[in-house]
Amino acid sequence: MPVLDDLARPGTDDDAVGGVPARLVAAPGSTEEAAALIAAAQDLTVVIRGAGTKIDWGVPPQALDLIIDTRRLSGVVEHAAGDLITIVRAGTPLAEIALGDQVLALDGPAGSTVGGTVAVNTSGPRRLHYGTVRDLLIGITVVRPDGKVAKSGGKVVKNVAGYDLGKLFTGSYGTLGLITECAFRLHPRPRSLAYVRAKAPAEEAARVREARVAPAAIEIDSASGELAVLVEGTPEGVRERSALLAKLLGGDVADDPPAWWGVDPWPSDGIGMKLSVPLSAVPELAAGGDPVRGSAGTGVLYAAADGITQVERLRAQCVRLGGHAVVLTAPSPVRDILDMWGPVPGLALMRRVKDQFDPGHRFAPGRFVGGI
């Protein structure tokens, strides 16, 4: 297996994933090289790693022979400004994608790669206006666990030819194969923006939505009792809209967001949860006693939990409200006894999808829902 020998180095302690040591680490430099590597690694269990900012998310792998490091799969392949699209390699850090007066409207932590962002489907405050990865991803190139390269979608925003594999790979946690390239739709960089900050209960989010000012984000932080709204647009429009909101909420217009804006509410060694509920249930969730933070405009919030009892309480509440509660990250003693994903509708079908793509269950084994 010359490709493996050429590309792989032995894993070190730093390469362990959720406490599971990696035997080998390889960083391919192109889709072709990645395909050759994966074709040569047919007997190995594999975990894919970008910048590693979310490598502790999900369940630790059941086995780990090879880490595929995507950071050499890096760079912007194309930025067609007139068409508002870009094609980037998966290992490119989000922060390094320079697009001039356009933006790839994905909120991600500093350093996280494009591929990692797609694979764990992170989102932030601006999801209210711009949507999430699934709404911005218009094409994808992947290497399947059997080493075959496949793409779907393309580089035009409107396209219904064939199945949308980009959606399937979004949030798949590396269990279906390696993402090597992504095409995204872009948005014009807003000429002006402002934040409206107020002490206000989550109920007020509904009034913001009704005000027809088209906010880009509505965030709450129940611990501080604050509500903040992002308004983007033309200078004249932003001035008028933010003034209207400040009056409505009894708050202030500011150039900067509050310190908690878009920040995970858990410490680096804590239990972090993502809660999603129907919009009308946000006030009840926010008033439930457990501090929550996040998008009151879409019903996706985050919480720190201090232990399993709190996880289960929050999960029971979210499920009762018609939503979901997922543990994104947890320290190892808790993780080992915790159900990180909670109830998963459609699990039987998901297993069938996994079996088709990765019949040997070699890619990120055990990391995903239902032990996938």
Partner 1 sequence: MSGIEELAIRLRASLGHERVVTDRQELRTYECDGLAHYKVVPALVALPQNTAQVAEVVRACADAGVPFVARGSGTGLSGGALPHADGVLIVTAQMRAIRSISPEDERAVVEPGVINLQVTRAATPHGYYYAPDPSSQQICSIGGNVAENSGGAHCLKYGFTTNHVTGLEVVTPDGAITRLGGRAPDAPGYDLLGAFVGSEGTLGVATEVTVRLTRLPESVRTLLAAFRGTDEAGAATSAIIGAGVVPAAIEMMDALAIEAAEAAVACGYPAGAGAVLIVELDGPSAEVAAQFDEVNRLCEANGAFEIRIAADDAERALFWKGRKSAFAAVGRISPDYIVQDGVIPRTALPEVLRRIDELAAAHGVRVANVFHAGDGNLHPLVLFDDAVEGQAERAEEASGAIIDLCIEYGGSITGEHGVGADKAKYMPRMFTDDDLDTMQLVRCAFDPAGIANPGKIFPTPRLCGERPGRHRGAVEYEGAEVF
Q: Scanning residues 127 to 186, which ones bind partner 1 (CB under 8 A)?
A: 131-132, 134-135, 142, 144, 146, 148-152, 154-168, 170-172, 176
Strands 66-69 vs 46-49: parallel, antiparallel or unpaired:
parallel
CB-wise, 92 or 123, nearer to partner 1? 123
Residue 59 near residue 340, CB atoms below 8 Å: yes
Q: What is the per-residue DSSP string for 132-192?
A: -HHHHEEEEEEE-TTS-EEEEE-SSSS--SS--HHHHHTT-TTSS-EEEEEEEE-EEPPSE
Mask for 214-243, x = binds partner 1 (CB under 8 A): x------------------xx-xx-xxx--
Question: Of the ranges 59-67, 188-196, 306-314, 330-338, which one interacts with partner 1 (CB under 8 A)?
Answer: 188-196
**CA R_g for the chain:** 21
CB-wise, 236 or 336, nearer to partner 1? 236
Mask for 297-316, x = binds partner 1 (CB under 8 A): -xxx----------------
Give the footprint of partner 1 on residues 316-345 (CB under 8 A): 321-324, 326, 341-342, 344-345
Task: Count interface residues toward partner 1 (CB under 8 A).
Answer: 88
* Residue 357 is a binding residue for partner 1 (CB under 8 A): yes
Q: Of all helices (H) and strands (E), which one includes residue 293? A: strand 293-295
> Where does the chain have alpha helices with state H?
2-7, 31-40, 114-120, 127-130, 133-136, 165-169, 204-210, 235-249, 282-286, 308-320, 332-337, 347-357
CB-wise, 10 or 82, nearer to partner 1? 82
Q: How far is the CB of 193 from partner 1 (least distance, A)?
A: 13
* Residue 266 is a binding residue for partner 1 (CB under 8 A): no
Residues 6+ apart with CB under 8 A from 289: none
Interface pick for partner 1 out of 32, 43, 96, 101 (rule CB under 8 A): 101
